[in-house]
Amino acid sequence: MTDASSAAMAKLVEVARDPRVYIEQWRSGHAGRPVLAILPMNFPRELAHAAGALPVIVQDDQQPITEGRALLAEFYCGYTRNLADQVATGRFDVYDGVFQADHCIQLIGSADIVRSLKPDTTVFLGMLNTSMNDPWAPRQVSAMMRRIRAEIEAFTGNPVELGTLRDSIGAYNRDRALIRRLLDERATGNAAFGPVELQDIITSSMVMDPVEHHALLTDVLLEPRRSERDDRVRVHLSGHLCHAPRRELLEVIEDSGAAVVDDDLYHGRRYVSTDVAETGDPVEALGEWYARRNVTIPCPTRVQQDVDWDGYLVDAVRVSAAEAVIHLVPKFCEPHMLYYPELRKRLDAAGIPQLQIETEHEGIPLESFRTRIETLVERARRRRPVHV
């Protein structure tokens, strides 16, 4: 790598691991423009970007949970308890307002913590419908996108011009497409980036301005990288709908004889799965994006009779030729827990070896995970054809 590209990758890693430094830098270069905390996964960031704000998807910051422990019950997932902790300890003060589109009940609970501890902060929840098949669904989604546009305009004091919105859509699409290319290349055999590097690339794109992120990532890709595959067992990682799996867990997976070839993680393929149409009315296009995302990679927080996550998973495994699936289930993630039995049944029926790993915000038993992953790897390896 040249110094220029290593500097570009180092910047992406720095932003991914400490978004607050980037946020403060951005703020000092954009006086008077707000930074919005966006709670995953459904909020149309493009609308906020077009109004001149920096929309940052709030990350689990991997700090131990202290004061947040008393604010949400223990049976909330680690991500939501970490968000509550960020609010309680002042780590959330870098944001000027909170914008969320309906997602899951626990995330709504953590937004309520912001409301209660910071009564002067704007907290907006857009109720995008969860039931996707009803004949009235597209009309409702479209009305909610218009409402979100109005809320953003009122908060920032800036009109969202349709031309500017188209530009923002284009900028996010280009960044998504570049990341998607890396994920596609990985699935077809190019191992140029390991799972931790890819996670840093994707996390930084959730934080940064898309134009700036795209430019840095382009610099990173200019440099040749080694990309040969080895003989490790190819695995698909599934789950972690809202926050990034811990880096040390990804390292243990690859150290245990597995190579990650594909995923449906939020900090992975799910985040970049679907582009917004760049023709027609851009606000309508955001509504269509919301609906199509659930078809590209089905989400257990939405209800749609003609798509299912288990079917998607079996197809994805066939496309990438993964030899096993590791389910990364955050402890107490209700949507994932409810779907997990279906996923398990379907993969068993398809003869795909699988392993469920329940993750926590802190204190994850890495060595016990290592033993279980090594066992999965061994099982998958025994299924390989024997060449005589």
Contact residues toward ligand SF4 (CB under 6 A) are 77, 79-80, 104, 106-107, 241-242, 301, 330, 333-336
What is the nearest approach in angstroms of ligand SF4 to the Cβ of residue 80?
Answer: 5
What is the nearest approach in angstroms of ligand SF4 to the Cβ of residue 82?
Answer: 10
Residue 24 neighbours by CB distance under 10 Å: 12
Residue 48 has phi, psi (to 5 degrees) of: -70, -40
What is the nearest approach in angstroms of ligand SF4 to the Cβ of residue 192?
Answer: 29
Nearer of residues 79 and 289 to ligand SF4, judged by Cβ: 79
How far apart are the C-alpha atoms of 202 and 73, rounded to whole Å? Answer: 30
Q: Residue 72 carries which side chain, given as an amino acid letter?
A: L
Nearer of residues 77 and 285 to ligand SF4, judged by Cβ: 77
CA angle, corner 241, sides to 120 and 239, nearest 5? Answer: 165
First and final CA of the chain: distance in angstroms? 41
What is the nearest approach in angstroms of ligand SF4 to the Cβ of residue 122?
Answer: 21
Nearer of residues 195 and 245 to ligand SF4, judged by Cβ: 245
CA angle, corner 110, sides to 109 and 116, nearest 5? Answer: 90
The residue behind tokens 């990350």 is 59
Maximal C-alpha separation, the chain: 72
What token pair was written down for 251? 């390292």
Nearer of residues 245 and 257 to ligand SF4, judged by Cβ: 245
Nearer of residues 106 and 294 to ligand SF4, judged by Cβ: 106
Buried b (16+ CB within 10 A) or exposed e, 193-212: bebbbbbbbbbbbbbbbbbb
Nearer of residues 106 and 199 to ligand SF4, judged by Cβ: 106
* C-alpha separations of 338 from 120, 204, 344 in Å: 36, 30, 11
What is the nearest approach in angstroms of ligand SF4 to the Cβ of residue 101?
Answer: 13
What is the nearest approach in angstroms of ligand SF4 to the Cβ of residue 38?
Answer: 13
What is the nearest approach in angstroms of ligand SF4 to the Cβ of residue 343?
Answer: 15
Nearer of residues 184 and 334 to ligand SF4, judged by Cβ: 334
